[in-house]
Amino acid sequence: MIINYGKIVEFTIRAKGISLEELAFELRTNRRTLYNWFQTPLLKRDVIYVIGMAIHHDFSREFPQLFKSNEFAFRGSQLSSGRQHANFSIKGKSKFVKLLE
């Protein structure tokens, strides 16, 4: 059986209830890129690592062949399943969008 790294990462993100829009913003990418990563069977270690750091998840449990348990040292705020980004609330985002218009 082939393990699909992208699917495991996707499942973990969705199980935590994290918004893909917020995650894409945090990673300075877009949702399309996230969906492409989810379809990648051998997702790169670096990509899994930055996602793990953004969602405060230690992927050494899912990928012991890629990571040691002490590699994920979390700092700062965690992306939440709610409507608030680490340092950028939806309210702040709305004001930012209005400024751009």
Q: What is the pLDDT of residue 84?
A: 43
Tokens of 51: 């996602």
Domain count, the chain: 1
What is the span of the domain harbouring residue 36? 5-100
Q: Which residues contact 9 (CB under 8 A, 6 or more apart)?
A: 37, 38, 43, 48, 51, 59
Question: pTM for this structure?
Answer: 0.71
The answer for 17, left when phi > 0, alpha when psi is -120 to 50, beta otherwise, is left
pLDDT in tens, the chain (101 residues): 678 999 999 999 999 999 999 999 999 999 999 999 999 999 999 999 999 999 999 999 999 999 987 888 766 555 655 444 444 444 455 555 555 54
* Residue 85 near residue 26, CB atoms below 8 Å: yes
